[in-house]
Structure 1
Amino acid sequence: MKNLKKRRRIQVIVLAFVALAVSTALIGYAMQDGINFFRSPSEVAEAPPAPNETFRIGGLVEEGTLVRGEGDTIKFNVTDGGASIPVTFKGVLPDLFEENQGMIGTGSYVNGVFEADEILAKHDETYMPKEVVDALKEQGVYQEPES
């Protein structure tokens, strides 16, 4: 009788660990497409990610690089003061998107060009995403907005 209780207790503990491991693996698998890491242009230039990896890049739209192509293709460079990465985007840009302004793009880095699926721009004249501010401060080119 005592041996049966001990065996049952061990089975329940093993089953609980297996259920925990399976649920953790399923959660990790489900979230792998939903997690987009932020990288600055300097980080992308130093260690280019794989072409199939989706990530976010942010910085300032480099002055003089914004080119509207034929159709809905837009090309520009994004910089953090340390490196400049060429970006292509097909679609409609946000209204507040312009040169020397902060932006964040989601997409992948293929053949030396960041191919953006989504572009986000600042939503007022003083806002800049925290990740972009941190990257610019790290490069020593961030300037506090005037009040």
Structure 2
Amino acid sequence: MKGLKKQRRIQVILLAVVALIAATGLVGYAMRDGINFFRSPSQVVQAPPPPGEVFRIGGLVVEGSIRRGEGTEVSFAVTDTNATVPVRYSGILPDLFGEGQGMVALGRMEGDTFVATEVLAKHDETYMPKEVVDALKEQGVYVDPKARPES
């Protein structure tokens, strides 16, 4: 009788472990398209992503680079001051989108051009997306707008 209870307990534990592994695998499979990595323009130029990979790119919109096409077609360039990547977007840009401003776009590379499906812009005069700030700090060109010069 004791052997049967012990065997049943082991079977229940093994079944629970298998169910937990299966549930973890299903959650991971369901989330595979929801994970979008961030890349700076320098990272995109140095190590181009594989074709079709969806990722986010961010930086500053290059002065004088915004070109409006037919309808809602817009092209511009984004930079982190070390590299520049051309961007093409079809849609309505956020109101605060502009040259020299921080932005993050979601999309994929087609040749040498980033084709965006979504463009996000800063929301006030000091905001810049965290990923863009980190990339600019890594390049050594970020200046904190909140820092006050010493007297």
Inter-partner Cα distance in structure 2 for 1:45 and 1:78? 12
Q: Which amino acid aligns with 1:71?
A: G
Q: Which amino acid aligns with 1:135?
A: A
Cross-structure match for 1:109: 109
| Corresponding pairs, count | 147
Cross-structure match for 2:8: 8
Deviations 1:44-68 (A, max 9, x none): 1121112221111100001121111
Inter-partner Cα distance in structure 1 for 2:131 and 2:99? 18
Q: Which amino acid aligns with 1:119?
A: V
Cross-structure match for 1:134: 134
Cross-structure match for 1:41: 41
Deviations 1:83-127 (A, max 9, x none): 111100001111111111100001111211111000000011111
Please tell me whether residue 63 in structure 1 is matched to residue 63 in structure 2: yes
Please tell me whether residue 29 in structure 1 is matched to residue 29 in structure 2: yes
Runs (4 or more) in structure 1 with deviation over 4 Å come to none
Unaligned runs of 5+ residues in structure 1 are none
What is the TM-score normalised by the length of structure 2?
0.92
Unaligned runs of 5+ residues in structure 2 are none
Deviations 1:10-63 (A, max 9, x none): 111110111011100111011111111111111111211122211111000011
Inter-partner Cα distance in structure 2 for 1:32 and 1:110? 21
Please tell me whether residue 73 in structure 1 is matched to residue 73 in structure 2: yes
Cross-structure match for 1:120: 120
Inter-partner Cα distance in structure 1 for 2:141 and 2:116? 24
Deviation at 1:144, TM superposition (A): 2.1
Inter-partner Cα distance in structure 1 for 2:47 and 2:3? 58
With 45-54 and 125-134 compared, the bigger mean Cα shift is at 45-54
Inter-partner Cα distance in structure 2 for 1:95 and 1:131? 21
What's the RMSD between the two structures over aligned residues? Answer: 1.3
With 32-41 and 98-107 compared, the bigger mean Cα shift is at 32-41
Cross-structure match for 2:88: 88
Inter-partner Cα distance in structure 1 for 2:129 and 2:103? 8
SS of the aligned residue for 1:3 comes to helix
